């Protein structure tokens, strides 16, 4: 069964600090993995996409990593800002058709 598990479930950090969110998946065959940011009450917005051959990709203060061997991905946020407070969802696409498997997300709260 295709599954995507994220940890931690929730996280509170001080503004300016760094944090790392984890995503483990069992989706097969693997096509790509996206990290989405979802503000409360809004739709998810894509941050990065990782394909099988990519190990690291950055988008501003967001850096995603992918280890296809261990089927793990991480999202590292540097110098956090209050606006980073949101849910971060890991989504894995299978290599066939249009199957997406969503993780439950990590709820991040950045405080002063």
Among residues 26, 51, 56, 104, the one that binds another protein under rule CB under 8 A: 104
From 26, 46, 78, 83, residue interacting with another protein (rule: CB under 8 A):
46
35, 88 Cβ separation under 8 angstroms: yes
Among 1, 43, 70, 112, binds another protein (CB under 8 A): 43
Sign, CA torsion 59/55/75/42: positive
C-beta atoms surrounding 44 within 10 Å: 18
Dig out the tokens for 104 from the structure: 């439950």
Which residues, numbered 48-87, are part of the site for another protein (CB under 8 A)?
A: 49
Least separation in angstroms between residue 92's CB and another protein is 11
């Amino acid at each position: 069964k295709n599954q995507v598990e994220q940890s931690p479930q929730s996280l509170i950090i001080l503004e300016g600090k760094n944090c790392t969110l984890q995503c483990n998946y069992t989706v097969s065959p693997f096509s790509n993995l996206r990290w989405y940011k979802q503000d409360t009450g809004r739709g998810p917005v894509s941050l990065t996409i990782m394909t099988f051959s990519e190990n690291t990709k950055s988008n501003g203060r967001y850096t995603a990593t992918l280890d296809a061997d261990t089927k793990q991905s991480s999202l590292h946020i540097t110098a956090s800002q209050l606006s980073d407070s949101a849910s971060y969802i890991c989504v894995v696409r299978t290599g066939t058709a249009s199957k997406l498997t969503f993780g439950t997300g990590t709820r991040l709260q950045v405080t002063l």
